[in-house]
Amino acid sequence: MKLKNVSIQPFKERAFSLLEMLTAMVIVAGIMLVVVRAMDRVQDVWVRTNSRVKEGQDGRAAVDTLTLRLSRAVLNPRWTEVTDGENPALLVDSDLHFVCGPVTQLRVSPTAVGHAVFFQAPLGYHVTPTVASGTTSTSNTDEFPHLIQALNAWGYFVEFGPDPVRAPSFLGPGQAPSSQRNRFRLMEFRQPTLELDLFQMDTSIPPVLRLSTATSPNLLYQWFTTPLSQTQDFTRRRCTVVAENVLAVIMSPREGEVDQGGGPGATGPTRIAPDYLFDSRRHQWEKGSVLAESNRHRLPPLIRVAVIVLEESDWSKLDDGRASSLGQELTGVINGSFSSASSFEQDVDRLTGDLNRRKLRFKILPFDIAYPAGRPAS
């Protein structure tokens, strides 16, 4: 039996074709893997850059707003003659009020964080009361264009919670945002001129300013705590969002560079607010205190401010439950710190370490606000 000669050339050609095909597929897969990784890297860089840009915008908005508004705070002090027995004396007096300090001491809000400040300034903000549908509301029509220097009550504080901007009423339940967007937000309290109640008089004879008769912090701070308690009525609360992702604003009132010298009980530049609380009317509820008398109707010569800003990307990836839990934890950390102004830098360092351990990206923006009129009257 003879065997026919069988050519293996076709099998070789098929093997080489299959090998070339597999090689091409491997090369294509490698190229696709490189492209996918490159796209992931580009997307990651874009998200991180966008988050940092948002962080910078929020931080800059907070710093610019605080610097612009706080620098315009006024007390308009004057000398008043007070008769104590047969010895008349001159004391500084004012009809206005400046106070800054921890939100827990100022009774701002259960969800407030860090420090807050409230004051009066000639900002010319006013609204006109109108009557619509049987209810009293307000209109922002510019009916008094000449009142550009009208006095307003103003303030700033940080608050944690859901987005206060609610969906329009014409949107159905299915159109409402699915997330509450729990965030830390820098809030601005601005009371129109026509609602300013600092100059209300009591019924005594002769009548005196009700603000000057308050003998406890609860009564003294009512001019801002009462409207801030209107948490369900955003219009009556007179608050607006300045910037999101502002974890806290820490304020340390201090003496100026010139006034850091000696004197009875001097403890350095933080002696005017050793517990961060500076109240121009502290003498009304802490009678006989040297600290209260030294700050009587006076602005702090200098306020050292630290604005702590978080990155949006660290919060946007969290669901409502986790964001709420993390926010409450950070609120406890902030409000449990900063008890001594002399340890300002050390407290900031400890907070930095705590945020790093939680792997939260942040930025601290320090700056100073000076009040030349805040030096003691002479």
Domain residue spans in the chain?
A: 34-123+152-163+180-374
Distinct helix (H) and strand (E) counts, the chain: 10, 13
Give CA–CA dist 160/103, Å, rounded: 13
d(CA 147, CA 143): 9
Cβ-contact 187, 118 below 8 angstroms: no
Task: Give the pLDDT of the chain (378 residues) as one tens digit per residue.
Answer: 555 555 566 655 666 677 777 787 888 888 888 887 777 676 665 555 555 555 578 889 999 999 999 999 999 998 888 766 667 788 888 999 999 999 999 999 899 999 999 999 999 888 765 544 444 455 555 556 667 788 999 999 999 998 877 655 555 555 555 668 899 999 999 999 888 888 887 766 666 778 888 899 999 999 999 999 988 777 788 999 999 999 999 999 998 754 444 444 445 889 999 999 999 999 999 988 999 998 999 999 999 999 999 998 888 888 889 999 999 999 999 999 998 998 998 999 999 999 999 999 999 999 999 987 655 544
Q: What's the pLDDT score for residue 260?
A: 43
* φ/ψ (deg, to 5) at 111: -105, 10
Which residue is associated with the tokens 């001159």? 90
Q: Which residues pair with 78 in a beta bridge?
A: 93
Alpha carbon separation from 104 to 45, 82, 143, 334 (Å, rounded): 40, 34, 38, 11
Structure token digits, residue 256: 């100026």
User: pLDDT at position 42, please?
Assistant: 66
- The rounded distance, in Å, linking the Cα atoms of 320 and 301 is 42
pTM: 0.79
3-class SS at 58? helix
Cα–Cα dist 236/28, whole Å: 64
Separation CA 309–CA 356 (nearest Å): 13
The per-residue pLDDT for 216 is 92
Q: What is the DSSP string of 87-144?
A: EEEEEEE-S---EEEEHHHHT--TTEEEEEEEEEE------EEEEETTEEEEE---S-
Nearest-Å Rg of the Cα atoms of the chain is 31
Structure tokens at 210: 């009700």
**Partners of 119 in beta bridges:** 154
